[in-house]
Amino acid sequence: MTKHLLQKSLILLMVLAACTSSVELTEAEKAKFDARLQPLIAGQAEIVESDYDVTTGKDGKKIYGIIIRGSSADDIRKLGIEVNSALGEIITARCTIEEMKKIAKLPSVKAIEAPQKAQLYQ
C-alpha cells in the first residue's frame, strides 16, 4: 500500500514539475520579442543556431544573448538572471528561453531583441 501511494505521489510531483517549468505568455508579452526571437519563443523545431548568439551552459541548456529595452535592470536581476550591461534603457543579458519568457512578463520591459551579428563585407 505504501509503495503504491509513493509511486502515485512521485507521478503527481513529476506532472506538477512539468506544468510549472513552462512559462505561458500573453499576446502582449509575445509581442515584446523581435521577429528573430519569435521562433525560439514559439518552440519551432527548425531553428538555425548560427542565427543566434548562443552558447551551451554547464547544465547543457542553451543560453542566448539578448538585448532588452526596459527601465529596470534590477527587475531582471531579481529573477536571478545575470545582467551583462545596462545603459539607460538598454540592457544586455544571457539567458535561457524560459528566462526570456520570465523577462517578457516584467512590466518594466518594453522589448527583447536578438543582437545583430557582425559580418565582414568584401
| Number of separate domains in the chain | 1
pLDDT at 17 over 50: no
Identify whether 4 is part of a domain: no
CA distance 85 to 77: 11
pLDDT in tens, 21-64: 467 999 999 999 999 999 989 988 677 777 888 999 999 999 99
Cell representation of residue 75: 527587475
Instruction: List alpha helices for the chain, DSSP H.
Output: 2-20, 27-30, 38-42, 73-78, 97-104
In a domain, 106, yes or no: yes
Q: What is the pLDDT of residue 108?
A: 97
Residue 83: strand pairing partners: 93
Residue 20 lies in a domain: no
Determine the pLDDT at residue 20. 45
The sign one gets for the Cα dihedral 60, 84, 101, 55 is: negative
Does residue 7 form part of some domain?
Answer: no
Assigned domain for 19 exists = no
The CATH number of the domain holding residue 52 is 3.30.70
Indicate whether 12 belongs to any domain. Answer: no
- Name the pTM for this structure: 0.76
Give the range of the structural domain holding residue 105, as residue numbers without chain letter.
Answer: 25-113
